[in-house]
Structures are given as structure tokens and as C-alpha cells.
């Protein structure tokens, strides 16, 4: 999906979502900043944008935060120098979650929970580990293969929220898809 297509969808769905995570791993800092500008030009507030890995772009764009991976800077380093950023850490296990919490992450992005198109052939991490992670007393956002039909299972397992890519971005009607997720989440009082 092109950034233009993403902006077109984001323009319509941003009033209904908490955050938009720009996960453009192959883009340069300049290209990523241009993507943020494109989003803000269609009225997506920077305060709803989370930048993948690039602290520099998040700061310059005045974004909500940054999502860090295993190869990224540690959360404590980012929080020390840029306390205004909300810092999430992508994790795949309880041990990684514990480490991220100790390093000062504001939340964990855990996945992939269910089989996912973006991780073909890779076994999912499942609901059991998600349930265990929620004992760490740090917000956990679940990602990976999440549909409106299985969102309830994720919330019952203790997740504080969900992150969805293909379920919205590849939907025939992205706004309707977002509303389907919201309807399930409201039933579980998230």
C-alpha cells in the first residue's frame, strides 16, 4: 500500500482510533517525515501518530510517540532524552516484556497472537503468553491476526487494546471495519 493510499484511509478512520502507527521500515527519515506531513495534510493530528523506530522523525514531527523494536534504542535512553514521547516496545515473550518494562517502556506491543498474513508460516505466540504478560502491570496492546471475531478473546486474555493492520487497511470499507472492532471493544469495556 502506498503512503497516499494510507493517507486516504487515515483521513476517514482517524477520528475512530486511538493512534496510527507508521510502520514504514524501508523508508528513509526524510520519506517518513514526508509521510507524516501527508497525514497531517489530511487532518490526522500528529498527537495520534506513532513512528516506528525513528526517534528523530517522531521528535521533528511532534508525534505522539515511537514504537521500538529489539534492534532499536532502549526505552530508558529515549525516555531520558525525550520524556514527551510515548514509548512502546514490540515484544514476543514474557521475558522481553519484563525487560521492556524495566527499561521504562510506556506500553508493550505483543504479537503475533494469531496466524497473520504478514507472518506467513510463522507460528503465532498465542493467548497464553498474552495472559502471562498482563501480570507485568504495564499496558499490553495485542497485534497479529486480530479480527472482530477474535478480539473478545484477546481482551478476555487481558490485553488493554489491539493493533490492526490488514483487518482495516485491506477491508473493502475501512470505516466499517474500524466500527466493527470498536463495537466488540465496547462490549468488553476497553
Hey, which residues are catalytic here? 112
Say if residues 154 and 127 touch (Cβ distance below 8 Å).
yes
Sheet holding 161-163, edge to edge: 20-22, 49-52, 65-68, 86-91, 107-111, 140-143, 161-163
Phi, psi of 93 (to 5 degrees): -155, 165
Q: For residues 181 and 190, what is the distance between their CA atoms, to the nearest angstrom? A: 11
Amino acid at each position: 500500500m502506498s503512503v497516499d493510499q494510507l493517507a486516504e484511509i487515515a483521513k476517514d478512520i482517524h477520528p475512530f482510533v486511538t493512534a496510527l502507527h507508521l510502520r514504514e521500515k524501508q523508508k528513509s527519515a526524510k520519506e517518513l517525515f514526508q509521510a507524516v506531513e501527508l497525514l497531517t495534510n489530511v487532518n490526522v493530528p500528529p498527537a495520534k501518530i506513532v513512528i516506528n523506530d525513528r526517534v528523530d522523525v517522531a521528535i521533528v514531527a511532534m508525534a505522539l510517540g515511537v514504537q521500538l523494536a529489539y534492534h532499536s534504542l532502549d526505552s530508558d535512553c529515549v525516555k531520558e532524552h525525550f520524556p514527551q514521547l510515548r514509548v512502546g516496545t514490540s515484544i514476543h515473550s514474557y521475558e522481553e516484556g519484563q525487560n521492556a518494562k524495566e527499561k521504562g517502556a510506556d506500553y508493550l506491543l505483543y504479537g503475533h497472537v494469531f496466524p497473520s498474513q504478514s507472518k506467513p508460516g510463522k507460528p503465532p505466540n498465542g493467548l497464553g503468553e498474552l495472559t502471562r504478560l498482563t501480570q507485568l502491570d504495564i499496558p499490553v496492546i495485542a497485534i497479529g491476526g486480530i479480527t472482530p471475531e477474535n478480539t473478545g478473546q484477546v481482551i478476555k486474555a487481558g490485553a488493554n487494546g489491539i493493533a490492526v493492520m490488514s483487518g482495516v487497511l485491506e477491508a473493502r470499507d475501512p470505516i466499517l471495519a474500524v466500527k466493527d472492532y470498536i463495537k466488540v471493544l465496547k462490549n468488553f469495556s476497553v
